[in-house]
Amino acid sequence: MRSRLEDIRGHAAATRLYAASVGLLVPDRLAGPTDKPAESASTLADSVAQNTDVNQGVLVGDPDVSALNLRIAVFRGDAVGYARG
């Protein structure tokens, strides 16, 4: 279970890194929108870690991914809008 938690944290960190790189490529239009999914990914990773019983190897309760899903959808719309000009 510890290795899964580390994987989750690693994915959250990668999301922050990709958000920063997109923000550098298109600072005027996408820097702000990329931060929101990255923040949600980090929050979700923290929540999963806090709600995991490492000794039993189980997650206690279901993680709420709704904020992350919403922010990804908003970013996707912003990115598509930017690409279409």
Would you state the pLDDT for residue 12? 94
Would you state the pLDDT for residue 81? 94
Could you tell me which of 58, 59, 65, 62 has the C-alpha nearest to residue 44? 65
Would you state the pLDDT for residue 28? 85
The span from the CA of 7 to the CA of 19, in Å, is 18
Would you state the pLDDT for residue 71? 95
Would you state the pLDDT for residue 19? 93
The domain limits of the chain are 2-84
List the chain pLDDT tens, one digit each, 85 residues. 888 899 999 999 999 999 999 999 998 889 888 999 999 999 999 999 999 998 888 989 899 999 999 999 999 999 999 999 8
